[in-house]
Amino acid sequence: MALTKSLHSFHIPVMGLAYTIDSPIRVAQYGISSVVSIIDDELIEKMNSFYSKKFNVPYQEITKKVQDYRAERITSYLNLTDTIVKEKFVNFKTELSESKAALEHFITTLPNTSDFKDGLSNLLQEGVAFKDKARSYLETHLKVGTIDVNIMTKVDKDNFIKGEQLPTQFNDAHASLRGFANSNLSSSVVLSAGMNPRLYSYFESFKDFFPDVNGHLKKKIILKVSDYRSAIIQGKFLAKKGLWVSEYRIESGLNCGGHAFATEGFLLGPILEEFKTKKIELIQDTHAVYVKGLNQKEIDAPEQPLELKITVQGGVGTAEEHHFLLENYQVDSVGWGTPFLLVPEATSVDQETRDLLRSAKEKDLYLSGISPLGVPFNTIKGTTNEFHKQKRIANNKAGSSCPKKFLALNKAFGPEGVCTASKKYQDVKLQELEAKKADVSPAIYENAKAKITEKACLCVGLANASYLENDINIKGQEQGVVICPGPNMAYFDKEVSLSQMMQHINGNASVLSNVGRPNMFMKELKMYVDYLKTDIDTISEDLTAKQIKKWTAFKSNLFDGIAYYEDLFVSVLSSKYTTIQNELQFYKNELTHISIPQLETV
């Protein structure tokens, strides 16, 4: 099936809980697709109230007294967002058809290779017929950006009332999915953080994920993946249930914002190469399984495979890199996340945090262990959340009050779960560590203690920016703001308009600082080499043969990735050939000198 052509060659991925919570309301009328996190129903309810008042739409509060309040809050906000976006889209088309100046400005933000851009440029030559011809052309060709949503599959906490566990459909991620499925949207749910078979099975409950009589999907599935193997396993798992994956969204394992799901040393370039060479095989194999899955449900299966897109995100920062990803790997879109944190028209960030981001240097951005999920988390030094967390640690009051409990997934203390960032959890773990202090080395003790107390309350910290930006009251323990940019933030040092960022992406302007910025592939390689070093240096448990095997494979895969890039950059990016080859040799030497510990023989 021929792919539907998007207006833009980029999209805005989900960022945190709050940073893209209202991005569709801000940018969808320009044809830009973006992704809303639907984890935090409390934030969503507050934003529902805020935007209902702003756009004079009747608002009915959904309280926790409602049995299915979480799903209903999400449905209500998504429907409101859809209503606002449609209204803004109509108004934007009217503006473009009535003002040549507005049309000229919009044209400057479009890709240079766009047929649509050429069509709009031709309209400018029209005289008295301009208005009617522009209106007709825009109605036919201008498409609104999609209002996509994100669910982290692992954030699927069981819920209880008075100690009694509720049915699975009231789990957090299940309720989020139901909220999206019951909405009016015709868009996609982006599933991230790996496979959740129970959640994936729940998709079968909603008809919008199955094709209609014309083979059309009202709601689609996007899988965020870090390698081809993961894609084909998850894709076939869903296909057996009659569920089609419409897009595989490949993300750099480490060179991204937020949670960094490191691969086993597999680098982005070789991963993209595998998807490019095996895309047809992926489509055909999955389609065969999909047809069987639909037949078992007695649903008419399309003869030809449905549309399947391959997109990529993580660390891209120049028009040259953007174009290279589109052309060399034949991807359908490129995600730009971190740079948009400095675009007030596109993302929800409080001013103090934007200022922190704007002034960030390479040394300020780091891969942390602050996430209660136990997954490396890209963040920045100097956040207000870090200030409040360290203040509690200094006062021997480590840990959060844990008001939202979305990440209360650790079952160490019982079936209801506890968050590893909570005071309840950290008090117990610090006591246990203190009891065995005499039996471990000082280095292991300090590493273990730091790993306990560094966990941050992401549920509150990742939501506070929207409250602060919109002057919404914040209750409870002071947590400040957690912000999760990728390392790319170091090279963007000023707030810019949406049109300036779009022109930057398309190569018609530059918003980069003068700081020397490494190629995105080289930056990721550096992060992986550093990751391996740190993982070896900070081990806080007894060494095992399994761990040694993991490190050995990781190192070997990095060598393979370097060899791939040595060949790749012979023929592309010739202007940077010498610099990149020197960097590859440097990291090869670095990798060679990383010593993997061995078990001591007795």
Q: Report whether pLDDT(104) > 80.
A: yes
Q: Report whether pLDDT(1) > 90.
A: no
Q: Which two tokens stand for residue 225?
A: 């993946």
Residue 339: pLDDT band (50, 70, 90) is very high
Q: Report whether pLDDT(581) > 60.
A: yes
**Residues contacting residue 550 through CB under 8 Å, at least 6 positions apart:** 264
pLDDT (0 to 100) of residue 575 = 62
Taking Cα atoms as reference points, which of 33, 20, 7 lies closest to residue 466?
Answer: 20
pLDDT (0 to 100) of residue 592 = 97
Taking Cα atoms as reference points, which of 427, 309, 452 lies closest to residue 372?
Answer: 452
Rounded to an integer, the average pLDDT of 283-295 is: 98
**Residue 28, beta-bridge partner list:** none
pLDDT (0 to 100) of residue 601 = 66
Q: Report whether pLDDT(495) > 50.
A: yes
pLDDT in tens, 396-437: 999 999 999 999 999 999 999 999 999 999 999 999 999 999
Rounded to an integer, the average pLDDT of 98-123 is: 94
Taking Cα atoms as reference points, which of 320, 183, 325 lies closest to residue 249?
Answer: 325
pLDDT (0 to 100) of residue 2 = 44
pLDDT (0 to 100) of residue 419 = 97
Question: Cα separation of 413 and 365, whole Å?
Answer: 34
Residue 574: pLDDT band (50, 70, 90) is low
Q: Taking all residues of the chain, what is their mean pLDDT, rounded to a whole number?
A: 95
**Residues contacting residue 151 through CB under 8 Å, at least 6 positions apart:** 38, 39, 173, 176, 177, 180, 189, 190, 191, 192, 199
pLDDT in tens, 36-95: 999 999 999 999 999 999 999 999 999 999 999 999 999 999 999 999 999 999 999 999
φ, ψ dihedrals at 128, nearest 5°: -65, -25
Whole-model pTM above 0.85? Answer: yes
Q: Report whether pLDDT(572) > 90.
A: no
Per mean pLDDT, which range of 445-449, 483-487, 557-561 is the poorest? 445-449
- Long-range contacts at 109-114 (CB < 8 A, ≥ 24 apart): 109/30, 109/498, 109/499, 109/502, 109/503, 109/506, 110/7, 110/8, 110/502, 110/506, 111/8, 111/9, 111/506, 112/506, 112/507, 112/508, 114/7
Q: Over pLDDT 70: what percentage of the chain? A: 98
Edge-first strand listing for the sheet containing 258-259: 258-259, 377-380, 365-368
Give Cα separations from 521 to 209, 300, 438, 496 (angstroms): 36, 44, 45, 25
Task: Give the residue with greater pLDDT, 505 vs 451.
Answer: 505
pLDDT in tens, 496-511: 999 999 999 999 999 9
pLDDT (0 to 100) of residue 69 = 98
Question: Cα separation of 289 and 547, whole Å?
Answer: 36
φ, ψ dihedrals at 11, nearest 5°: -140, 165
Burial class (CB in 10 A: 0-12, 13-18, 19+), 505: buried
pLDDT (0 to 100) of residue 448 = 87
